Amino acid sequence: MRDESIRVRPATERDVPLILALIRELAEYERAPNDVVATEDALRCHLFGPWDATNARPGPAAECLIGECDGRAEGFALYFSNFSTWMGRPGLYLEDLFVRPSARGRGLGRALLRRLARVAVERGCGRMEWAVLDWNQPAIGFYRALGATPMDEWTVFRLTGPALRALADEARPAT
């Protein structure tokens, strides 16, 4: 049964404060409230602002959907394009999906993922991927119920901060 009070819409620049608030709520839920360093200016720039000539590609770095229940914003999905070399096709990577606890169980998470699946199909993507914390059993069960499968053989690696800068600044080998 479809809940008529649920609406999913593309985020607009006016939503930047809301997006940041939802990101902070997600970080709180994921037990990492102090890890959020995003700012409204950074989100505005990377989600809605044109990139200048010094950037490697034009356009936004990511996109965002807002999920509403009864006209109130209760969740978001932030995503971007990636590419599968093996498939030779683009993919869609879901960076974050969050529905406020008070709105869970109404179908908003499913509605956000359904919209993302439509975006992926419309863009000719071969797959949609995301990561979930291994302790988040409610989310894992939800994703499995949708038909998603865990990629147990893969380990996610991350390079940030000083280690990222050190590698970028490393001298190039002589040729």
Catalytic residues: 143
| Residue 146 structure tokens | 């949708």
CB atoms within 10 A of CB 112: 23
Q: Answer whether 75's CB lies under 8 Å from 108's CB.
A: yes
Pairwise CA distance, residues 81 & 123, whole Å: 10
Nearest alpha carbon to residue 66 among 5, 119, 125, 22 = 22
Pairwise CA distance, residues 110 & 146, whole Å: 8
73 pairs with which residues across the strands?
68
Q: Which amino acid is at 140?
A: I
| Residue 136 structure tokens | 């988040």
| Residue 57 structure tokens | 């590609």
